[in-house]
């Protein structure tokens, strides 16, 4: 358990270089994420391996729709986060590091994955990047055993640690919260350019999917969502894009996203992307159709998933590549 991605600074401080916050941490204090601490001039990780949640979830819950559809994945959460979103849906673990946790070593977690017959491990629920040392240590062991590694994250990480992370991940769902730099800066405490940089770094290395939580009056204009979709399409128009309905959480009291808004935004995103999905909208079907001929490839109702129209990775009707891993 060696802390990485930091250097000693003047007056006993340490500078963490893991995420673009680049916290300069005074002795005894924590960084913005509240889990990386300066103890006597060196960075310590008092929350290494301390998990706030361990569960087996459908991969669709991450959400990942184009990676081993219908399979269950061992999912683990931590505490702490590099952002402070006032609408955080997991604020009880993201912003309260006194939340009960249990230490599970990387070896034990991989063993648990085997016992539960899961095809891999998903690092999720709270922000896994601020626990990168544990994620890397576990992902190495998991990969050695033929298991998959899946990241669910805000994508806020500097380029060098991101390279190490991407080398070990197989798939990821990254939050793209807004195109608006002011929204990232004022509401969240982040820099949207850094998230874009990470997406550019990641898109051709792993199975990448992207999610935007559509919040009324904040980021729900068709123009904004179309701009995000255009950016993603410039990387790859087959990147699956999830538009998720917001519900009042934590410090936000804005009413929930109406389904009609989500449908309007999906239409805007479909101008540029081949696979756009609605999330958090109850029992609506979220199927995958072939972008070439419209043939139904995967039928989803809730977490009930049937792969119907794919053989050897191609649409059975027109032969176009299905762009879905693990089928």
Binding site for ligand SF4 (CB under 6 A): 16, 18-19, 21-23, 31-33, 36, 82, 130
Residue 284 CB, shortest distance to ligand SF4, in Å, is: 36
Q: Considering beta carbons, is residue 133 or 209 the nearer one to ligand SF4?
A: 133
Strands (E), 176-309: 207-214, 241-245, 276-279, 288-289, 296-301, 304-307
Residue 59 CB, shortest distance to ligand SF4, in Å, is: 27
Q: Considering beta carbons, is residue 162 or 262 the nearer one to ligand SF4?
A: 162
- Going by DSSP bridges, is the β-strand pair 24-25/314-315 parallel, antiparallel, or unpaired? unpaired
Q: Is 42 left (phi over 0), alpha (psi -120 to 50) or beta?
A: beta
* Bridge partners, 218 (sequence order): none
Q: Considering beta carbons, is residue 19 or 208 the nearer one to ligand SF4?
A: 19
Alpha carbon distance 148, 32 (integer Å): 30
Paired tokens of 254: 């804005």
Alpha carbon distance 163, 74 (integer Å): 24
Q: Considering beta carbons, is residue 175 or 226 the nearer one to ligand SF4?
A: 175
Residue 128 CB, shortest distance to ligand SF4, in Å, is: 11
Residue 150 CB, shortest distance to ligand SF4, in Å, is: 20
At 21, give phi and psi (nearest 5°): -65, -25
Per the CB < 8 A criterion, the answer to whether 36 and 3 are in contact is yes
Residue 126 CB, shortest distance to ligand SF4, in Å, is: 13
Q: Considering beta carbons, is residue 18 or 113 the nearer one to ligand SF4?
A: 18
Residue 19 CB, shortest distance to ligand SF4, in Å, is: 3
Q: Considering beta carbons, is residue 33 or 262 the nearer one to ligand SF4?
A: 33
Residue with nearest beta carbon to ligand SF4 = 31
At 61, give phi and psi (nearest 5°): -75, -15
Alpha carbon distance 201, 195 (integer Å): 10
Alpha carbon distance 60, 64 (integer Å): 5
């Amino acid at each position: 358990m060696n802390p990485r991605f930091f250097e000693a600074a003047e007056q006993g401080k340490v500078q963490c270089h893991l995420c673009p916050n680049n916290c300069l941490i005074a002795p005894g204090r924590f960084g913005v994420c509240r889990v990386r601490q300066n103890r006597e001039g060196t960075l310590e990780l008092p929350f290494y391996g301390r998990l706030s949640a361990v569960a087996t979830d459908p991969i669709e819950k991450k959400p990942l729709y184009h990676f081993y559809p219908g399979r269950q994945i061992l999912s683990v959460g931590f505490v702490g986060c590099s952002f402070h979103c006032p609408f955080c849906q997991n604020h009880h673990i993201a912003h309260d590091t006194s939340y009960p946790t249990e230490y599970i070593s990387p070896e034990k977690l991989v063993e648990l994955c085997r016992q539960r017959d899961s095809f891999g491990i998903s690092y999720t629920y709270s922000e896994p990047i601020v626990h990168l040392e544990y994620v890397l240590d576990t992902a190495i062991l998991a990969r050695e055993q033929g298991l998959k590694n899946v990241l669910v994250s805000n994508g806020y990480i500097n380029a060098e640690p991101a390279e190490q992370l991407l080398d070990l991940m197989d798939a990821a769902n990254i939050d793209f919260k807004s195109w608006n730099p002011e929204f990232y800066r004022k509401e969240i405490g982040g820099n949207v350019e850094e998230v874009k940089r990470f997406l550019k770094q990641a898109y051709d290395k792993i199975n990448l999917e992207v999610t935007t939580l559509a919040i009324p009056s904040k980021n729900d204009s068709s123009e904004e969502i179309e701009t995000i979709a255009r950016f993603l399409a410039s990387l790859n128009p087959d990147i699956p894009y999830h538009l998720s309905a917001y519900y009042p959480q934590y410090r936000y009291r804005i009413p929930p996203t109406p389904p009609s808004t989500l449908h309007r935004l999906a239409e805007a995103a479909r101008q540029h992307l081949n696979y756009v999905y609605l999330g958090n909208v109850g029992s609506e079907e979220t199927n995958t159709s072939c972008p070439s001929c419209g043939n139904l490839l995967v039928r989803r109702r809730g977490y009930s998933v049937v792969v119907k129209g794919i053989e050897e990775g191609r649409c059975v009707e027109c032969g176009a590549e299905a762009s879905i891993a693990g089928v």
